[in-house]
Homo-oligomer: A and B are copies of this chain.
């Protein structure tokens, strides 16, 4: 019963403008003439709207194309340097801040190493704020040119007024108001979400999920999570914690999981559980190469992993009927690169024919670096929806 908002004539413009911007952003350079077909708007409207967007410098011309026998069409595109986006990846071992232009080309980046158990929220906030200054300087961009900062963090991000609260057990964060801390140090708009979700968003917009309206993006690292996309929108749930796929029980009295329960999917297909099952010593530090060895050696543990993963994916297919499933995360990619075909077979055996046939299962394209990019996407999304002009926050 999602209540629609009151609408007025100006919302019409806002919506159509956003649609035009989106088609131009994702649909490459286009002439005004082509845009009438793509958007359904009349030539008159396209003309006035592109006029506005050109004088605002959100769009720019991009050459001409001969059209046999008539006036050549002028191509338009989104101006990649109209504004910039900042994406932040807060992970267990580092804080990374990246500066992107509007086309998501990376312009600058800075990494800060976090010592284990140095996840003090104040420290992290200081690192982020310092990082912002650094990338702005490196990229020769002023704060006034930046649309906002997106931050991907571990754990559950509880969105709500007045402020998003972050719960991250492994960091010792329990209801931490990162947004408020940021706002104390910068006037840029701040968007915060779970890192797995921002990565899912990145895959959906720029990776293997492009164009999918119904998708599930599965992230397998040492933990396991998922982003569910229905009708083109990420499903967030009532307190923004949807997507905790890792603690789905798939075996009634199965292996103990670090969450305290038993039989969780994560205990089987998460890197930590997988390595433990394969008998890799816990003190191993280079998990990726250890995992590579286990996967290459094969054996029952690997077969089991394929079975569990395939079954878990089959459950998602039955329940959500996506058109595409993306397998990502560093461990997910390693497993998928070696065994995707077998996984597909297991999925086929454990899902209903009709939804199975409607789904394709593919690997993620972007890799683990995409957390920051996905975080920046939060800002981009806002911009494409509202195409808010630059800007009100540039004050301080």
Q: List residues of A whose CB falls within 8 A of some B CB.
A: 1-9, 11-12, 15-16, 18-19, 22, 26, 39-41, 156, 158, 167, 204-205, 210-214, 226, 228, 230-233, 235-245, 247-252, 254, 259, 261, 307-308, 311, 314-315, 318-323, 349-352, 354-355, 358-359
Contact = CB atoms under 8 A, between A and B. Distances in A.
Contacts of A211: 1
A246 to B, nearest CB: 8
Contacts of A241: 321, 352, 354-355, 358
Closest 4 CB pairs between A and B?
A237-B321, A2-B232, A6-B40, A238-B323
B232 A1 contact: yes
A387 to B, nearest CB: 13
A238 B12 contact: no
22 contacts: A1-B211, A2-B213, A2-B231, A3-B22, A4-B18, A5-B40, A7-B12, A9-B12, A167-B354, A230-B237, A235-B320, A237-B321, A237-B322, A237-B355, A238-B359, A242-B355, A244-B355, A247-B352, A248-B315, A249-B315, A252-B308, A319-B319
Nearest to A323: B238
Nearest to A253: B251
A32 to B, nearest CB: 15
Contacts of A4: 15, 18-19
Contact of A238 (B1, B214, B226): B214
Given A6-B41, A15-B7, A40-B5, A239 B321 contact: yes
- Counting chain B CB atoms within 10 Å of each CB, the highest count among A3, A235, A314, A318 belongs to A318
B249 A314 contact: yes
A300 to B, nearest CB: 13
Contacts of A320: 228, 235, 237, 242
Nearest to A15: B7
A302 to B, nearest CB: 16
A261 B11 contact: no
A265 to B, nearest CB: 9
B22 A16 contact: no
Given A239-B354, A249-B350, 10 more contacts: A1-B26, A2-B231, A5-B19, A6-B39, A167-B354, A236-B321, A237-B320, A244-B355, A247-B318, A248-B315
A16 B3 CA distance: 11
B252 A250 contact: yes
Contacts of A3: 19, 22, 232
A39 B231 CA distance: 26
A245 B318 contact: yes
A235 to B, nearest CB: 5
A230 B235 contact: yes
B319 A243 contact: yes
B22 A242 contact: no
Contacts of A319: 226, 228, 242-245, 248, 319
A349 B253 CA distance: 13
Nearest to A262: B350
- Counting chain B CB atoms within 10 Å of each CB, the highest count among A213, A228, A247 belongs to A247
A235 B247 CA distance: 22
Contacts of A2: 213, 231-233
B7 A16 contact: yes
A119 to B, nearest CB: 19
A101 B352 CA distance: 38
A1 B230 contact: no
A5 B18 CA distance: 11
Contacts of A350: 249, 261
A205 B230 CA distance: 21
